[in-house]
């Protein structure tokens, strides 16, 4: 654990040597959702390969770089490309960047992902503001010795996603005319998509959207005392009785459409936060 704090310090030192800002928020941009990074002003881009202890992203649709700068005048760091458990990384590796964001000074984490929509009211490319989650990944990034300097042994999970930020996000979507739902996100390991029986089970346990990411990062964010705002984009419709084979190209095309919505919505949330 001593080792983890040292690793965080080393990553922070390299980022600080390249970018003098103190981020208010950290952003994690999911599969096909990197468009927002283009709106970052006074941008410094650091490839993950140049940050100590950052794993390197292996997924094609993920750029693998940390974008530092300002969004709506607010200093932020954004991950263009995240690490997935299914790529073979440990939960600690997947969540390391969240520790670094916190240590840089961020108090808020905004996470986005592409997800399968199981709620029959949801349509392709709809925005879902994540209201709560279910961890079905069979692992936990906090497993092992706890370092009290990083957070409590038994972090509370009664409100992992800030109700205040979620309300601002839903209001912002309304102002922009973007359809947005509230929903429960369930995380699975992947990399295979679910069977019809699995979608039926996941829906039955109360989930609205399913994906292969986000929950590890949110657990660590809560442990670290960050406020969290989460968004899913519905990239495929997962109704067990009308299931069609997924086509990753189609998913990426829908993600691009959803990403365009998030590129308008997230700055609006930041604007509304400033005046809140």
Q: In degrees, to the nearest 5, what angle opens at C-alpha 212 toward C-alphas 224 and 24?
A: 35
State the number of binding residues for ligand HPA (CB under 6 A).
13
Using CB under 6 A as the binding rule, the residues of this chain from 191 to 210 that contact ligand HPA are 193-194, 210
Using CB under 6 A as the binding rule, the residues of this chain from 39 to 98 that contact ligand HPA are none
Q: Which of 8, 71, 137, 238 binds ligand HPA (CB under 6 A)?
A: 238
Instruction: Kindly state the smallest distance separating residue 211's Cβ from ligand HPA, in Å.
Output: 4
What the block records as the tokens of 47 is: 């490839």
End-to-end CA distance of the chain: 38
Instruction: Kindly state the smallest distance separating residue 119's Cβ from ligand HPA, in Å.
Output: 13
Rank residues 8 and 210 by Cβ distance to ligand HPA and give the closer one.
210
- Contacts with ligand HPA, 105-144, as mask; x by CB under 6 A: ---------xxx----------------------------
Instruction: Kindly state the smallest distance separating residue 86's Cβ from ligand HPA, in Å.
Output: 10
Cα–Cα distances (Å) from 276 to 26, 110, 111, 172, in that order, read 19, 17, 21, 12
Pairing of strands 108-117, 227-237: parallel
Q: Which residue has the tokens 């981020």?
A: 23
ω before 214 within 30° of 0 (cis)? Answer: no
SS3 203: helix
Instruction: Kindly state the smallest distance separating residue 212's Cβ from ligand HPA, in Å.
Output: 5
Residues that bind ligand HPA (CB under 6 A): 114-116, 188, 190, 193-194, 210-212, 235-236, 238
């Amino acid at each position: 654990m001593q080792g983890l704090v040292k690793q965080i310090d080393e990553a922070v030192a390299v980022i600080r040597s390249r970018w003098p800002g103190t981020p208010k928020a950290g952003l994690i941009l999911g599969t096909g959702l990197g468009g927002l990074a283009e709106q970052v002003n006074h941008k410094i881009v650091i490839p993950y390969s140049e940050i100590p202890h950052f794993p390197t992203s292996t997924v094609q649709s993920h750029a693998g770089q940390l974008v530092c700068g300002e969004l709506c005048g607010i200093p932020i760091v954004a991950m263009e490309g995240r690490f997935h458990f299914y790529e073979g990384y440990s939960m600690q590796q997947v969540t390391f960047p969240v520790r670094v964001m916190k240590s840089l000074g961020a108090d808020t984490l905004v996470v986005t992902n592409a997800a399968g929509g199981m709620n029959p009211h949801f349509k392709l490319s709809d925005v879902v503001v994540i209201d709560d989650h279910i961890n079905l990944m069979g692992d936990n990034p906090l497993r092992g010795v706890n370092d009290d300097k990083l957070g409590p042994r038994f972090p509370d999970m009664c409100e992992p996603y800030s109700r205040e930020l979620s309300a601002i996000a839903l209001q912002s979507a309304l102002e922009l005319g973007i359809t947005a739902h509230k929903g429960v996100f369930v995380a699975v390991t992947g990399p295979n998509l679910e069977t019809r029986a699995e979608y039926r089970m996941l829906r039955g346990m109360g989930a609205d959207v399913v994906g292969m990411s986000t929950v590890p990062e949110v657990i660590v964010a809560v442990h670290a005392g960050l406020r969290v705002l989460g968004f899913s984009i519905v990239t495929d419709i997962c109704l067990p009785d009308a299931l069609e084979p997924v086509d990753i190209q189609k998913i990426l095309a829908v993600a691009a459409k959803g990403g365009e919505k998030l590129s308008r919505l997230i700055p609006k949330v930041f604007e509304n936060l400033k005046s809140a």
